[in-house]
Structure 1
Amino acid sequence: MADRLILVTGGTGPLGRPLVRSLLEGGARVRVLTRQLPGRRVEGAEYAVANYIAGSGLARALVGVSGVVHVAHDLSDPLRDVQGTLNLLEVARAAGRPHFAYVSIVGARRVRGFGSYAGKVRGEELVEASGLPHLILRATQFHHFADGLLTQASRLPRLLVPDGVLQSVAVEDVARELARRVLAGERGTLDFAGPEVLRIPDMARAWLAARGRAGRVLPLRLPLPHPVLRAMQRGDLVEPEAPRGTVTWADFLSKKAARG
């Protein structure tokens, strides 16, 4: 799919920006779908103003594209997010049936009672039923998700964390893998994971050490109220047999500490 025009939703976000750069480096032309033009733009990309949830501007944005990579995700409202995916698929079918890549989450089907993950599962189903040539890439939790989880937990005197495991992955690794497979026109469903399956208490201790902070990590073994935390305890959000990235949790912490 090199030298062809690929539309990227969510191209101004933490995964979208490195994805846009990776696609450009692979020889593709890239059009970023955005609700408003960003102040910071990736050099070499073009930008189309549209709203995938409302459906406005989509037909114009898809003119001439041979591929769509749907990275955008509305965490605040899963129903709106599903509607946005449906809007994109419908317009894509009318715009020449481009290859459609969708980013989902490893283990989402194993998490019950959490709307955001249910929305991702429903999005997968819509893509599979769309009749479009498609690729679904499920990634494990991003390093910055684990970082945010620990930041919230650190507000208490002790660092209370689920006694479970994560296999967090760098967004840059996901971006490169996704771009490589999109440019090759690959189809099907695959998982992509971080390089290590780590116990969350060990991740928390490394997180504290990287900040030069003292503190006690307290692993929580009782069933936790949030379905995602329970999934971590059960080990439902890892995929040890999946292809893996290379940026470790320690690499992520070191880089973040260097940035200050």
Structure 2
Amino acid sequence: MKVVVIGGTGLIGSKLVGKLNDHGHEAVAAAPNTGVNTLTGEGLAEVLEGASVVVDVSNSPSFEDQAVMDFFRTSTTNLLKAEAEAGVQHHVALSVVGTERLQESGYFRAKQAQEELIKASGIPYSIVHATQFFEFMKGIAAEATKGDTVRLAPVKIQPIGSDDVAAAVGRTAVGTPVNGVAEVAGPDEFQLDELIRKGLAAKNDPRTVVSDVHARYFGAELKETTLLPGPDAHIAATRFVDWLAQQQ
């Protein structure tokens, strides 16, 4: 099966391409540095020739509200049009658990717009909602930092390793389209501020983590369960403590 991975040279994409090829599929990494640009359409028709499945794990280079909305709308529109012309039979997209609950955030409004375009396209689809990756804890801390203080809401989070995300997306890609959303999460539930505090301590980072119920998460205020998956989520195996030990 030929599977084209949009964003195939990034964190998830590169792992996904490797896993699919290891399982005997023809996985092709598509990204600007491989000559495929979903914003301009460059290389799309060529790379999609003979493809059964397209997996979109690309991300916007900017998280500024208008820039990220423009990215996902333009990229997704161009991609879906090219897929329809190529006869692609399954569109898979990676998104985020809680997207529909985080609409105060420009980034998550853009992800919601992406999902709505996919649902309206007429192409059989699967949307994988993953909780935040272990690898993104650094970015969450950076976004919440002012001076030497990291201000975070004491809400629940169930993060997941990128290897487990890639495996879940791969299983979805070679399976039957669900024409809906499938969730995947890590095995352990944490309090967000405590999780970041542990991560910073492990790297001897001197910043202080402060618990603040009104602290915003990429522009959105959080409720206790905003970031948690539902009861039917697939639970991955890798624990944060084990991943953290591997990093050290």
TM-score, scaled to structure 1: 0.84
What is residue 71 of structure 1 aligned with on the other side? 57
Partner residue of 1:19?
A: 16
Q: Tell me how far apart the structure 1 counterparts of residues 88 and 4 of structure 2 sit (CA, whole Å).
A: 13
How many equivalent residue pairs? 241
Q: Does 1:35 align with 2:32?
A: yes
Could you tell me whether the CA contact under 8 Å between 1:191 and 1:243 is conserved in 2?
yes
Of 86, 95, 98, which aligns to 2:77? 86
Q: Note the C-alpha offset of 1:145.
A: 1.6
Mark the CA change 1:211 to 1:145 in structure 2 (over 3 Å): closer, same or farther: same
Show the counterpart of 2:227: 237
Q: Tell me: CA distance 1:210–1:227, structure 2 relative to 1, closer, same or farther (3 Å).
A: closer
Distance 1:105 1:17 in 2: 19
1:51 Cα offset (Å) = 0.7
Contact 1:7 1:31 in 2 (8 A): yes
CA distance in 2, matches of 1:208, 1:226: 18
- Residue 141 of structure 1: CA displacement? 1.0
Structure 1 residue 204: Cα displacement: 2.8
Q: Which one of the candidate residues 198, 221, 224 is aligned to 2:190?
A: 198
Work out whether 1:136 is the aligned partner of 2:133. no
* 8 Å CA contact 1:82, 1:119 repeated in 2: yes
Q: 1:13 to 1:215 in 2, by over 3 A?
A: closer
Unaligned runs of 5+ in 2: none
The structure 2 residue matched to 1:166, chosen from 147, 152, 157, is 157
1:107 maps onto 2:107 in alignment: no
Q: Does the aligned pair in 1 maintain the 2:131–2:184 contact within 8 Å?
A: yes
Q: What is the CA-CA distance between 1:160 and the residue it aligns to?
A: 3.2
Identical amino acids, percent of aligned pairs: 28
Deviations 1:148-176 (A, max 9, x none): 22356577445433222211111110100
Letter in 2 for 1:73: N
Q: Which moved more, 1:65-74 or 1:238-247?
A: 238-247
Does the alignment pair 1:247 with 2:233? no
Paired with 1:184 and 1:213, the residues of 2 have a C-alpha distance of 42
**TM-score, length basis structure 2:** 0.88
- Cα offset, 1:229, TM superposition: 5.3
**For the Cα contact (< 8 Å) 2:159–2:188, is it kept in 1?**
yes
Kindly report structure 1 stretches of 4+ aligned residues shifted beyond 3 Å. Answer: 151-160, 212-217, 225-229
Residue type at the aligned position of 1:72: S
